[in-house]
């Protein structure tokens, strides 16, 4: 009898399609993935900077690489990773200062992070890559 009562009290939700990561959670995992991706791309970025500064010839090589459509897509993706990490990071700094920690503002600020990081990516991409 007692066991039955306990079992009844425990809610179960195995309807998996109804379970999803909320937006602040998506922001959080992208923050981690973007950080890891930038870490892995560091040698590529240092190589680009080295080439761009080493000599006019190396600058031309880097310019040629960056002008390739595939490289542009990779770099646009990289700019987005950086901008997401940047905006989400500022949000985390605000949360550290106990600003916007209630559920409603936390959800709103994650929406702002996505909107601002995508907007900045498009602006910087348009100016630098195209």
Partner 1 sequence: MVNRILVGAHYGLKDWIIQRATAIIMAVYTVIFLVVVGAAGPDSYDAWRGIFANGFIRFATFLFFVSVFYHAWIGVRDIWMDYVKPDGLRLLLMIATVAVLVGYAGWAVQILWRM
Interior angle at CA 119, CA 115 and CA 123, nearest 5: 175
Q: Which is nearer to partner 1, 33 or 73 (CB)?
A: 33
Q: Which residues contact 111 (CB under 8 A, 6 or more apart)?
A: 23
20-56 CB burial, b ≥16 within 10 A, e <16: eeebbeebbebbeebbeeeeebeeeeeebeebeeeee
Among 24, 37, 52, 78, binds partner 1 (CB under 8 A): 52
Asked if 24 is part of the footprint of partner 1 (rule: CB under 8 A), the reply reads: no
- Residue 16 DSSP one-character state: G
Residues 6+ apart with CB under 8 A from 45: 78
Instruction: Find the shortest distance in angstroms from Cβ 35 to partner 1.
Output: 5
Cβ 76 to partner 1 shortest distance, Å: 16
**Sites for partner 1 among residues 95-114 (CB under 8 A):** 96
Q: From the CB of 59, what's the least distance to partner 1, in Å?
A: 4
Angle between helices 69-96 and 23-54 (to 10 degrees): 130
- The answer to the question of residue 32 lying near partner 1 (CB under 8 A) is yes
Q: Which of 21, 29, 49, 115 binds partner 1 (CB under 8 A)?
A: 49
Residues contributing to the site for partner 1 (CB under 8 A)? 32, 35-36, 38-39, 42-43, 46, 49-50, 52-56, 59-60, 86, 89-90, 93, 96, 124, 127
């Amino acid at each position: 009898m007692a066991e039955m009562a306990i079992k009844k009290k425990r809610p179960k939700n195995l309807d998996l399609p109804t379970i999803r990561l909320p937006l602040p959670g998506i922001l959080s995992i992208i923050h981690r993935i973007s950080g890891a991706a930038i870490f892995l791309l560091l040698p590529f970025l240092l190589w680009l900077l080295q080439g761009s500064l080493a000599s006019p010839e190396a600058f031309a090589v880097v310019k040629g690489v960056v002008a390739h459509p595939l490289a542009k897509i990779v770099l646009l993706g990289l700019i987005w990773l950086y901008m997401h990490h940047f905006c989400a990071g500022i949000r985390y700094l605000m949360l550290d200062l106990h600003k916007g920690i209630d559920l409603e503002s936390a959800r709103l600020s994650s929406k702002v992070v996505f909107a601002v990081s995508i907007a900045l990516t498009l602006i910087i991409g348009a100016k630098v890559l195209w």
